Chain A
Amino acid sequence: MKPNPHSCGRFPRRTFLADVGMGFAGLTLGSMFWRDGLTRASGGEGQSIHLPPDGKPLFAPKAKSVIWIFLSGGYSHLETFDPKPALNDHAGKSFDKTPFENPVAGQKHKARFRSVPADSINVRDVYPLIYPMQVGWKQHGRCGIGITDWWPRLARHVDDIAWVRNMWTTDNDHWAENQIHTGRHRLDETQPSLGAWVHYGLGSLNDNLPSFVTLGVPKSHTTSEIDHAYYLGPQHGGVPLAIDPKNPLPFGSRFEGVSAGEQAGEFELIGKLNQLAAVEYPDDHRLRARIRAYELAFRMQAAVPEAMQFPGEPEHIRRQYGLDQEQTKVAGERLLCARRLVERGVRFVLAYPSGLSAWDSHQKLKDNHEKLCANVDLPVAGLLQDLKQRGLMEEVLVVFCTEFGRTPGLEERGGGKTGRDHHPHGFTIWFAGAGIKGGTIHGETDELGYHALGEGHYITDIHATVLHLLGLDSRRLEIPGRKRLDIDHGQPIREILS
């Protein structure tokens, strides 16, 4: 037999990595290994030549990884981070009876939003009776941001946070939850989610963990696309991990009755047989990728539970995330877990601290938000504190968002008297951590909190900001034959960058 330079698994590491990145099949492993922070040799930011990603950022990144905290259902910007005293001053009046411009008269109201149901069957209405704020508010920090009293712990971190108060989206129903992750309205062809783009562009920092992880994402039609890689290929999709020692990832634990030794023996035999096949098929890239995949899988079985369980976390950390209290435990576990994952090299963690549509307060907004804020405030503040004390604020970007805001008017549907409806015209999100200028208050809504003023930011500006900080440019990740639109790419929100 002819000596073969590639036989018996003696492939040089670099060659192997280059090999497996080839071809239509989308072998993911080639792009898994950016560790050294080298930027790609050619091109600077803004250049528009297509290069398939090789796992390296396109220009110097500010952030290594992202924790994306998503509050499902649409929190009220008015009762959280964009308080509007005018609502109290004019409570009970209709919009046209205030000294301000009537937000629902004129073109602006129709300009941005687009209802999924056909006009003929749409039931959502304009609610013109001003509903007062359901909670008090104060200014905090050096930046002087006004936030409501339901966020006492987060209030201590306001100078680490950049607030964007002029967000808008186009769907007035909960499909906006998918939309904020894919950038596309329900009625338009969908796109890969942001996490998938990050995974596609950068790969992982840790071979033994999935690179795009979701935590606590409920199953629903409104979440069906948030971890979806669509045409990038399923290997770039989000992997749901669970804080469940028995089954932290799908098929991640040995089948009942199989001993560790037994399984290790099997993996060893599989490896040996596949290596023998590699002698037989020396130019089979897919075979070599599979050998690698089995090695990773075996290690993943140990690495995932290690990351997902935290008996070793000291008591003060557990308290900091609220693990000791019933009301903060769920959110706290997920956020602590998120920190452990990014610490171990996961690129993109999408965490749901509360349940599906939990913040969707058509009625009893006060009770709903007061309770949910109490669930989330402490763990989120704990996360920021923790990242700071570990020096991770320089590496990790935190995004805190929801699918849309809530109406300044009282929702009267079904005789309601205590809530607000969905509101795509203006809402607030925030960023913190790597590359973010803390204490920035960017953008505003009108006096009644209705419209995002100026150009505002469509949700893909969040994507552009995240990708920019990671050293990526979505225009240069584009796949030939999959034309994206300008609005899909968005623009980084430069005002909030450090």
Chain B
Amino acid sequence: MKSIPAIFAVMGFLAEPVAAEAEIYGRDIKPLLQARCYACHGALKQKAGLRLDTGEAIRRGSKNGLILATNDPASSSLLLRVGSTDRDQRMPPDGEPLTPGQIQMLQSWIARGAPSPVDEKPEPDPSEHWAFRPVKRPKVPLIEVSEKNLPTSNPIDAFIAKEFEGRGLVPQPESRRDLLLRRVYLDLIGLPPSRDELHAFLADTAPDAYERVVERLLESPRHGERWARHWMDIWRYADWYGRRHVPDVWNSAPQVWRWREWIVRAINSDKGYDRMLVEMLAADEAAPEDEQARPATGYLVRNWYALNPNQWMRDVVEHTGKAFMGLTFNCAHCHDHKYDPISHRDYFQFRAFFEPIQVRQDRFPGESDPGPFQKYEYSANRKVVTQGVVSVFDENPAAKTFIYLRGDERTFPEGKPAVNPAMPSFLGGHLLRMEPLALPPPAFYPGVRPPIRQTMLEEHVRAKEAARRDFDAVSVKYVEARSVFMSQKETNNLSSLGKVLAEILATEVDWRNASNKLAVANAAHSSLQARMAADDARYGHSSRPNSGGTHNGKPYALKGTPDQGSSSSPADPALSAEESASRAERELLLRQAQAQFTLADGKLSLLEAEHSLSRARWNVDGASKHKEESDKADAAVKKARDSLATARKSIESAEAALLTNSRSYASLTPVYPSTTTGRRLALATWLTRPDHPLTARVAVNHIWNRHFHAPLVASVFDFGRNGAKPTHSELLDWLAAEFMDHGWSMKHLHRIIVTSRAYRRSSASPAEVSESASCLDVASESSSAAPGRTSEIGSNQERDPENRYLWRMNSGQMEAEVLRDSLLHLAGELDVTPVDYPLPTKDAESSRRRSLYFECFPEPGGHSQFASAFDPPEPMECYRRTSSIMPQQALAMSNSRLAREQSRTLSKKLASSLGDADSSAAASFVTLAFEHLLSRPPSSEESVACQNFLQKAFANPPETASIPVKNDPPSDSGSFARAHASLVHALINHNDFVTIR
């Protein structure tokens, strides 16, 4: 009998034929067409002049005629095409064919005359899509003040309150102050308040107590670390990976951490988001001489891939599209986008902005020289180079971008010309302005940068000093050897005299070598100075080049670079400096050749001496052993003679070279192209135009998501037509406008968000608030919900169970990093010293540094084992962190060294602050622990449960030895300490520890 209602449901149209037919269209036909056909036959495209987005348009047909035959449905071309078995005929051409059921559904709809609602609207024009229109600051709605004692000036609350109206939603009152403090601490700095901070806040009755906390947290250096991690998620931060176990760097770069450092710094100094984007995409063009900005292009370096430059481009296009614009350009990699007006060609035009780029590796002042960046090469392993700065520059301005097919770079259509960089017009691509830029010399030639010169000079001076010390030491030895000889000359002991002579010979060779090395070091230093002087002349002191960037150093002029060779006259003073640099360099070469000769010569004389000795021995005893030795020595002598001959030739050619006249000399460092295409700067400037429809909206949505644990637009990387609609579109636009009008200041945005009433609301459900447990905060009025409201608020959950309209605050869960940092912080163990080169993940449980500073990469070992249980950021794509609940988390919190050690340290700390044990010690300890760990006092039931636990633990000490903890030998206060540790350990496992209420 069960099936009868189902049958009625299916056959329903028989009962009410007219109403049901239009319903069938809306319920079954339209969604099918939308899913499978609209991409080509809707607002986006009208292939064959056909639209299928209204019943009327379907009945109208294509440019080839009608597609429906209501009198003979089966002969409708619509049905013939969707039912065709010919792949060239079948519709839709991509994906699975329609199922027989779906075709049958279409047929019976046609048989009924293809009915559809009369007022049906076609798909709106794609350019009308909300997210493709520029942001206009909406008027703040006027909302009646409905919540007492709370600031009403925050426009966020007006927009949110507007959505309550008509939905019957009643907002929750402000959160308990203790939980609010914990919330805002974890949100802004990623660490909970200590118990002292909590009590200080609760005692502060000034009306702006909360606002002052917010200011303090925003100014804390911890804030940059906390929010840097959020943006690192979005921007796909990853330390080098590829073949970690070899090791062999395939992706990203070992020095990419400088980009992380830049992010932290930028956030702490509240650099505008617009400027951050500009520097990440084009620091080399926008601020060519700002060495602090250069690492920002780590954003692009992170996507570098050793084996295939196309892959680099693909990742850059996909994620620049998703992260900055909330658009899935990657869908147009193989074909025109199915939902948004992004063509296959648009994809490649986007790529063309990045086509000329390459990675360069510069020396960092004061550090050793990492050498040039190692490029694409299959068979050579790429070493883990930790020194230096990696950044992006335009290596090949003439690089062409060709469209390829089906996502396979080997498939080019014949005869298609290369595409130029451009952005689609629906985004205002016509506003993009692009021009090539000349770079100042320090930007394309690190060798003229004073700190680099300084480093090199110091290096040479140190080499000279070392050579001098060696020479002095060897000289002393030589003199000693000679005096020994003089003293023994009289003894007539021939054998010992031979030894002494050999010694003299050896020290003399050493002395000559040391002397030569000193000469070489002196020559190298002179050469360096001469080359610097020549560089000064060459990159001179006249007018500034026409560059778009800021310019902090002294001006340089473009007079031709070493690789360009100009034909200026000999009278040019620059030429003489270049000549002397060239000469100094050749003198150095001669010195080196001479040193080489001396070395070879000395080696030869030693070998000759050895040879005569071994031949003499053989002559004496005829032993075959000595014969072998002698032959070997003979061969060695011959080889040494060859080396000497080579060295002599080197000297000859070096001497000959000295006679020539030349201006060429080696540059101090690699010299990169002195111009850049300006493409990326143009792209970044365009992206951050105030009329760009997406950049600000996407950014504020990301920021909102991290405050409220839910975004305003659920599809955070897809604001296109297939993405989600905003829950509060006016609020989103207002925030975007506010953001841009305040210099894209993130701190401004944080400030207005966290001081809003919406943010400060309780996350509890109405029943919970009215039944709120005892609160530390007696001054707060929040625990007493307004009477008379309960009848209504009970329905909030029914009307909006997912809290889309924010009638309460969402609760959140600590991310892996926050969890670890909080444990360390509460135990007083967190070491907040910033770290440059990332720490190995294997040390995460023993190290006390902030979690931000550990390696992070998408390969086994890319997260610590502890973090792995708590949804660590997925470095391949993490626009939104997942937040799972798994048994593995319970195991990690129960059994990890980190959790155990910190519980113990913490409990000792708490116990010591209690002073001498008394009868109320258990209760006091429990309260103390709750306040410190959960920022709230225990309820009476909680307190009782915990006291019982402690008493039981005191009474029954565990049978095993106590926990051995590094640097902290087990104390003999015995079961008390152990029970305390056990309780603290249980509390860090409390749901309210990991939860942000």
Partner of B894, one of A28, A210, A266: A266
Contacts A48-B99, A250-B888, A276-B945 given; indicate if A220 touches B860 (C-beta within 8 A): yes
Q: How far is the CA of A295 from the CA of B877 in the complex (A)?
A: 32
Q: How far is the CA of A202 from the CA of B478 in the complex (A)?
A: 84
When the two chains form their complex, are residues A117 and B865 in contact, meaning their CB atoms are under 8 A apart? no
B-side contacts of A281, CB under 8 Å: 764-765, 768
Tell me if B282 counts as interface (CB < 8 A to partner A).
Answer: no
A-side contacts of B243, CB under 8 Å: 220-221
Interface residues on A, range: 35 or more
Q: Which residue of B lies closest to A118 (CB)?
A: B308
A-side contacts of B956, CB under 8 Å: 261
Q: How far is the CA of A301 from the CA of B891 in the complex (A)?
A: 8
Partner of B991, one of A231, A256, A277, A298: A277
Q: How far is the CB of A176 from chain B (nearest CB, A)?
A: 14
B-side contacts of A220, CB under 8 Å: 243, 245, 859-860
Tell me if A123 counts as interface (CB < 8 A to partner B).
Answer: yes
Q: How far is the CA of A297 from the CA of B885 in the complex (A)?
A: 11
When the two chains form their complex, are residues B962 and A257 in contact, meaning their CB atoms are under 8 A apart? yes
Tell me if B963 counts as interface (CB < 8 A to partner A).
Answer: yes
Within 8 A of A (CB), among B484-538: none
Tell me if A223 counts as interface (CB < 8 A to partner B).
Answer: yes
Q: How far is the CA of A239 from the CA of B896 in the complex (A)?
A: 17
Q: Which residue of B lies closest to A240 (CB)?
A: B860
Q: How far is the CA of A252 from the CA of B889 in the complex (A)?
A: 11
Within 8 A of B (CB), among A134-183: none
B-side contacts of A114, CB under 8 Å: 408, 410
A-side contacts of B868, CB under 8 Å: 234, 250
Q: How far is the CB of A296 from chain B (nearest CB, A)?
A: 4
Q: How far is the CB of A279 from chain B (nearest CB, A)?
A: 8
Tell me if A259 counts as interface (CB < 8 A to partner B).
Answer: yes
When the two chains form their complex, are residues A276 and B245 in contact, meaning their CB atoms are under 8 A apart? no
Tell me if B424 counts as interface (CB < 8 A to partner A).
Answer: no
A-side contacts of B765, CB under 8 Å: 281-283
Tell me if B619 counts as interface (CB < 8 A to partner A).
Answer: no
Q: How far is the CA of A270 from the CA of B869 in the complex (A)?
A: 19
When the two chains form their complex, are residues A239 and B874 in contact, meaning their CB atoms are under 8 A apart? no
**Interface window among A55-63, A186-194, A431-439, A449-457:** A186-194
When the two chains form their complex, are residues A273 and B986 in contact, meaning their CB atoms are under 8 A apart? yes
B-side contacts of A252, CB under 8 Å: 891, 895
Tell me if A108 counts as interface (CB < 8 A to partner B).
Answer: no
Q: How far is the CA of A286 from the CA of B982 in the complex (A)?
A: 25
Tell me if A105 counts as interface (CB < 8 A to partner B).
Answer: no
B-side contacts of A310, CB under 8 Å: none
Q: How far is the CB of B692 from chain A (nearest CB, A)?
A: 24
Tell me if A119 counts as interface (CB < 8 A to partner B).
Answer: yes
When the two chains form their complex, are residues A265 and B953 in contact, meaning their CB atoms are under 8 A apart? yes
A-side contacts of B408, CB under 8 Å: 114
Partner of A283, one of B241, B318, B797: B797
A-side contacts of B889, CB under 8 Å: 293, 297
Q: Which residue of B lies closest to A27 (CB)?
A: B885
When the two chains form their complex, are residues A123 and B989 in contact, meaning their CB atoms are under 8 A apart? no
A-side contacts of B886, CB under 8 Å: 28, 234-235, 293
| Prevailing SS type, chain A contact patch | loop
Tell me if B201 counts as interface (CB < 8 A to partner A).
Answer: no
Partner of B885, one of A25, A117, A189: A25
When the two chains form their complex, are residues A290 and B986 in contact, meaning their CB atoms are under 8 A apart? no
Q: How far is the CA of A82 from the CA of B811 in the complex (A)?
A: 58
Tell me if B376 counts as interface (CB < 8 A to partner A).
Answer: yes
Looking at A119, A223, A265, which has the most chain B CB atoms within 10 Å of its CB?
A265
When the two chains form their complex, are residues A28 and B958 in contact, meaning their CB atoms are under 8 A apart? no
Seen from chain A, the residues whose Cβ lies within 8 Å of a Cβ on chain B are 1-2, 4, 23, 25-29, 46-48, 114, 116-123, 187-190, 210, 219-221, 223-224, 230-231, 233-235, 239, 249-259, 261-263, 265-267, 269-270, 272-274, 276-277, 280-284, 286-287, 289-291, 293-294, 296-298, 300-301, 475, 481, 483, 486
When the two chains form their complex, are residues B308 and A187 in contact, meaning their CB atoms are under 8 A apart? yes
Question: What string of 1s and 0s marks CB contacts (under 8 Å) between B132-169 and chain A?
Answer: 00000000000000000000000000000000000000
Q: Which residue of B lies closest to A285 (CB)?
A: B885
When the two chains form their complex, are residues A266 and B891 in contact, meaning their CB atoms are under 8 A apart? no
Q: How far is the CB of B643 from chain A (nearest CB, A)?
A: 31
When the two chains form their complex, are residues B410 and A234 in contact, meaning their CB atoms are under 8 A apart? no
Q: How far is the CA of A114 from the CA of B992 in the complex (A)?
A: 51
Contacts A266-B894, A297-B894 given; indicate if A287 touches B991 (C-beta within 8 A): yes
Q: How far is the CA of A75 from the CA of B51 in the complex (A)?
A: 53
When the two chains form their complex, are residues A255 and B895 in contact, meaning their CB atoms are under 8 A apart? yes
Q: How far is the CA of A242 from the CA of B894 in the complex (A)?
A: 19
Contacts A262-B958, A274-B991, A294-B989 given; indicate if A230 touches B982 (C-beta within 8 A): no
When the two chains form their complex, are residues A234 and B871 in contact, meaning their CB atoms are under 8 A apart? yes
A-side contacts of B897, CB under 8 Å: 255
Question: What string of 1s and 0s marks CB contacts (under 8 Å) between B287-331 and chain A?
Answer: 000000000000000000001111100100010000000000011
Tell me if B968 counts as interface (CB < 8 A to partner A).
Answer: no
When the two chains form their complex, are residues B884 and A26 in contact, meaning their CB atoms are under 8 A apart? yes
Partner of A251, one of B871, B877, B888, B953: B888
Q: How far is the CB of A416 from chain B (nearest CB, A)?
A: 15
Contacts A116-B308, A188-B407, A234-B871 given; indicate if A289 touches B885 (C-beta within 8 A): yes
Q: How far is the CA of A28 from the CA of B718 in the complex (A)?
A: 25
Partner of B768, one of A26, A250, A253, A282: A282
A-side contacts of B991, CB under 8 Å: 273-274, 277, 286-287, 290-291
* Number of B residues, CB within 8 Å of A: 96
Contacts A219-B245, A255-B897 given; indicate if A293 touches B885 (C-beta within 8 A): yes
Tell me if B128 counts as interface (CB < 8 A to partner A).
Answer: no
Q: How far is the CA of A241 from the CA of B619 in the complex (A)?
A: 72
Q: Which residue of A lies closest to B251 (CB)?
A: A221
Q: How far is the CA of A230 from the CA of B878 in the complex (A)?
A: 10
A-side contacts of B715, CB under 8 Å: 481
Partner of B982, one of A46, A265, A277, A297: A265
Partner of B990, one of A26, A258, A274, A301: A274
When the two chains form their complex, are residues B995 and A287 in contact, meaning their CB atoms are under 8 A apart? yes
A-side contacts of B310, CB under 8 Å: 118, 187
Q: Which residue of B lies closest to A267 (CB)?
A: B894
A-side contacts of B986, CB under 8 Å: 266, 269-270, 273
Q: How far is the CA of A47 from the CA of B243 in the complex (A)?
A: 42
A-side contacts of B887, CB under 8 Å: 293-294, 296-297, 300
When the two chains form their complex, are residues A250 and B952 in contact, meaning their CB atoms are under 8 A apart? no
Q: How far is the CB of B991 from chain A (nearest CB, A)?
A: 5
B-side contacts of A188, CB under 8 Å: 407
Q: How far is the CA of A48 from the CA of B995 in the complex (A)?
A: 38
Looking at A26, A28, A224, which has the most chain B CB atoms within 10 Å of its CB?
A224
Tell me if B423 counts as interface (CB < 8 A to partner A).
Answer: no
Q: How far is the CA of A431 from the CA of B227 in the complex (A)?
A: 50
Question: What string of 1s and 0s marks CB contacts (under 8 Å) between B68-79 and chain A?
Answer: 000000000000
Q: How far is the CA of A286 from the CA of B868 in the complex (A)?
A: 19
Q: How far is the CA of A223 from the CA of B861 in the complex (A)?
A: 12
Q: A251-B869, A265-B952 are in contact. List 14 more A-B contacts (CB 8 A).
A: A25-B882, A25-B885, A118-B308, A121-B376, A219-B859, A221-B245, A254-B895, A259-B960, A280-B764, A280-B768, A280-B939, A286-B991, A286-B995, A298-B890
Q: Could you show 11 A-B contacts with beta carbons less than 8 Å apart?
A: A4-B767, A28-B885, A118-B309, A249-B891, A258-B895, A262-B958, A265-B982, A269-B986, A270-B989, A276-B945, A293-B886
When the two chains form their complex, are residues A290 and B885 in contact, meaning their CB atoms are under 8 A apart? yes
Q: How far is the CA of A290 from the CA of B995 in the complex (A)?
A: 11
Tell me if B379 counts as interface (CB < 8 A to partner A).
Answer: yes
Q: How far is the CB of A43 from chain B (nearest CB, A)?
A: 10
Tell me if B849 counts as interface (CB < 8 A to partner A).
Answer: no
Tell me if B914 counts as interface (CB < 8 A to partner A).
Answer: no
A-side contacts of B860, CB under 8 Å: 219-220, 223-224
Question: What string of 1s and 0s marks CB contacts (under 8 Å) between B362-398 and chain A?
Answer: 0000000000000011110000000000000000000
Contacts A220-B245, A266-B986 given; indicate if A121 touches B377 (C-beta within 8 A): yes
B-side contacts of A189, CB under 8 Å: 318, 330
When the two chains form their complex, are residues B883 and A118 in contact, meaning their CB atoms are under 8 A apart? no
